[in-house]
Amino acid sequence: MSFLTILFYVVSALMVFTAVRTVTAVHVFRSALYLAVTLSLVAVQYLLLGAEFVAVVQLLVYVGAVIVLIIFAVMLTAQLGDERISQTNRLALPAALGCGAVFYALGHALVATDWSKVTPAPADPALQGASGNLQAVGLSLLSTYIYPFEMVGLILFTALVGAVLIARKDLAEPALRPRPEALEGPSKGPEGAE
């Protein structure tokens, strides 16, 4: 066995282990840290597959940004860090059986398929003369895939504006507050705890 083969098996085993810990850890903060390890290992798999650009983007966007967002959400919502509250619902066993069935069905279909019959995609003419994955992806993004690239930027921008709007305090509150006739007593509604 070559070094890369051993590396693949080690990374895969670690990945499955940390993914299982992500969905089963009692503490949500710990769960987020396990998720960070899983996502970094996915980046290692991308490197092993020769996709350097995607690996770097994976590290930047997922481990750098999404994990930070998740950890911020965990810290902003105090109840999440409480270990005494059960983090899973009562359907853990049926869900485990269902997911096992999904894995079996997927695996069976994947192994039974003969992938050698797939016709390889035609070579992209825009990539002539590109040396290495980074240059090829950069050229491709700004030539063949320029319209999807611009569209996805627009979608990301819209989502960010929407997220700011949703999380804004003064806009979110009036709609969620109970109607005035429900506020007869001295209680101030669900916002009173603040």
Partner 1 sequence: MIPGITLDHYLLLSAALFSIGLFGVLTRRNAVGVLMGLELMLNAVNLNLVAFNGLLHRSALGGQMLTLFTITIAAAEATVGLALVVSLFRARRSVRVDEADLLKG
4 burial level (CB within 10 Å; 0-12, 13-18, 19+): exposed
Q: Could you tell me the smallest distance in angstroms from the CB atom of residue 187 to partner 1? A: 14
Question: Which region holds residue 189: left if phi is over 0, alpha if psi is between -120 and 50, else beta?
Answer: left
| Residue (172 or 185) nearer to partner 1, CB | 172
Query: Rounded distance, CA 151 to CA 107, Å?
Result: 34
| Residue (2 or 131) nearer to partner 1, CB | 2
Asked if 60 and 143 count as a contact pair (C-beta separation under 8 A), the reply is no
Q: Could you tell me the smallest distance in angstroms from the CB atom of residue 167 to partner 1? A: 4
| Residue (171 or 185) nearer to partner 1, CB | 171
Q: Could you tell me the smallest distance in angstroms from the CB atom of residue 5 to partner 1? A: 5
Q: Could you tell me the smallest distance in angstroms from the CB atom of residue 1 to partner 1? A: 7
